[in-house]
Amino acid sequence: MRRRREHRPKDETEGGLFPGMKRRRRPSRSRAAVVAVVGLLVVVAAGLWFWLRPGPESEPSGPEPVAAERPAIPPPTPAEEPLDLPELDESDAFIRDLIARLSGHPQLAAWLVTDALIHRFVGAIVNIAAGASPASQTPFLVPDDPFEVEEAGDRLVVAPTSYRRYDLLSETFVSLDTEGSARLYRQLLPLFDEAYADLGFPDESFHETFVQATWNLLEVDVSEERPEVVPSEAVYEFRSASLEARPAAEKHLLRMGPENADRVQEKLRELSAELEIPPP
């Protein structure tokens, strides 16, 4: 029996501008931080996982990432066709026009009707690289349908309809032209670096954070088995302590379901290859 639930999973109610994160040390080229969860795709990918409600802004806080052996982070290949870029604070219309050329999916234009696209993208990637929820950056991607669970014997498990809420999100993401998106990423990197500096990282490369975020999501192992959940006050939590202890960004991917997660990860592998990002 399926039961509709008006309250969302725990990770669909957490807010904050950069929850669970504090000023990150620059990773060395031989070691990188955090073993967990994307790398999204150009500006629209800023919204890939961000279906949560926004919360009050807060300063980054949380534990330092745990160091782990990583491949060296290569510098991005310079753009072969540099763009005459606008000022960062006046770039939204310019960005919308460029992104619209990457896919004919009708949902793409609707999601781009927002402001501060570059800042949202960069802020979301910073969060994902730290394993934190990027939800506050893209509240416009909150699913309209409620989260649902169903009974399996004496257990409550995630209902398949809860996974279907993210079909449109994954379909739009995988519809983006991979080669064109990688080229646009290189062209827009100066704006990404500027927005990254605005967040308090003036001497660091945004590309390293983008690579870290990509590695994090590609490492997530999404099981075909639907996880058991338990109600906790007005939210749901995974019954498994190991699942519930995973970083918020990783749990977002798990909540998309195995089919959507596989499609997203495959697209990220294609993008990584175009950007010459080594596997994690």
If one compares 46 and 260, the residue with the highest pLDDT of the two is: 260
Instruction: Assign 9 a pLDDT band (cuts: 50, 70, 90).
Output: low
pTM over 0.95, yes/no: no
If one compares 74 and 243, the residue with the highest pLDDT of the two is: 243
pLDDT score of 44 more than 70: no
In a domain, 113, yes or no: yes
In a domain, 195, yes or no: yes
If one compares 175 and 142, the residue with the highest pLDDT of the two is: 175
Instruction: Assign 22 a pLDDT band (cuts: 50, 70, 90).
Output: very low
In a domain, 279, yes or no: no
Q: pLDDT at position 234, please?
A: 76
- pLDDT tens column, 156-214: 999 999 999 999 889 999 999 999 999 999 999 999 999 999 999 998 899 999 999 99
DSSP H helices, the chain, are: 92-100, 106-111, 117-129, 160-164, 167-174, 178-198, 206-218, 241-244, 248-255, 258-274
Contact criterion met (CB below 8 Å) for 102 and 176: yes
Instruction: Assign 3 a pLDDT band (cuts: 50, 70, 90).
Output: low
Instruction: Assign 69 a pLDDT band (cuts: 50, 70, 90).
Output: low
83 to 179, 197, 248: CA distances (angstroms)? 16, 20, 35
Q: pLDDT at position 249, please?
A: 77
Domain count, the chain: 1
In a domain, 280, yes or no: no
Dist. CA 3–CA 188, nearest whole Å: 45
Lowest mean pLDDT among 61-75, 78-92, 221-235: 61-75
In a domain, 25, yes or no: yes
Q: How many helices (H) and strands (E) does the chain have?
A: 10, 7
Average model confidence (pLDDT) across the chain: 76
Q: pLDDT at position 42, please?
A: 35
Q: pLDDT at position 8, please?
A: 53
- pLDDT tens column, 79-130: 888 899 999 999 999 999 999 899 988 888 777 878 899 999 999 899 889 9
Range of the domain at 168: 2-274
DSSP per-residue string spanning 201-215: -TTS-HHHHHHHHHH
232 strand-pairing partners: 235
Of 45, 23, 20, residue with least CA distance to 210 = 45
- Quickly tell me which residue has 């955090």 as its tokens: 34
43-75 CB burial, b ≥16 within 10 A, e <16? bbbbbbbbbbebbeeeebeeeebeeeebeebee
